[in-house]
């Protein structure tokens, strides 16, 4: 496979919990997932990150966006989420160069399953 080409992936999940999810816990968890994916990209030959974004919305007007535009920088977070919620829609989008699509797709699926399991079991 030509690793000079970009890989573009989008994943969407709906996270629900019978116990209220706190804004702080949610931000912490997506931060951990972002770090896990960045570490994976670095270990597997990513040469350039176009962007990595998590966009989260509840049923209300609130949203949170976590963005990483450079593999060497910390995430930027903007937006406002309510203090607690029971359901949130999470859209993940990535553009990267250097890691094969199958490999990054598998890692992202693993991380999306992990965040769903974490909040479903709380």
Do strands 6-22 and 84-97 pair parallel, antiparallel, or not at all (unpaired)?
A: antiparallel
* Residue 120 in this model has a pLDDT that exceeds 90: no
Give me 18's structure tokens. 């019978």
> Domains in the chain, please, with CATH?
6-120 (3.30.1220)
β-partners of residue 75 are none
6: which residues sit within 8 A by CB, 6+ positions away?
A: 50, 95, 96, 97
Q: Look up residue 75 and give its DSSP letter.
A: P
- Confidence grade of residue 121 (pLDDT, cut at 50, 70, 90): confident
Instruction: Please give the pLDDT value at position 60.
Output: 73
pTM of the complete model: 0.91
């Amino acid at each position: 496979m030509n690793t000079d080409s970009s890989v573009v992936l989008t994943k969407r999940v709906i996270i629900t919990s019978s116990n209220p999810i706190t804004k702080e816990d949610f931000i912490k968890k997506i931060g951990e997932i972002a770090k896990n994916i960045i570490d994976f990209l670095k270990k597997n030959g990513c040469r350039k990150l176009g962007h990595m974004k998590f966009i989260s919305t509840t049923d209300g007007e609130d949203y949170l966006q976590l963005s990483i535009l450079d593999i060497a920088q910390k995430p930027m977070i903007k937006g406002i989420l309510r203090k607690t919620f029971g359901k949130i829609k999470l859209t993940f989008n990535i553009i990267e160069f250097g890691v094969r699509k199958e490999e990054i797709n598998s890692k992202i699926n693993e991380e999306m399953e992990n965040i769903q399991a974490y909040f479903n079991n709380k």
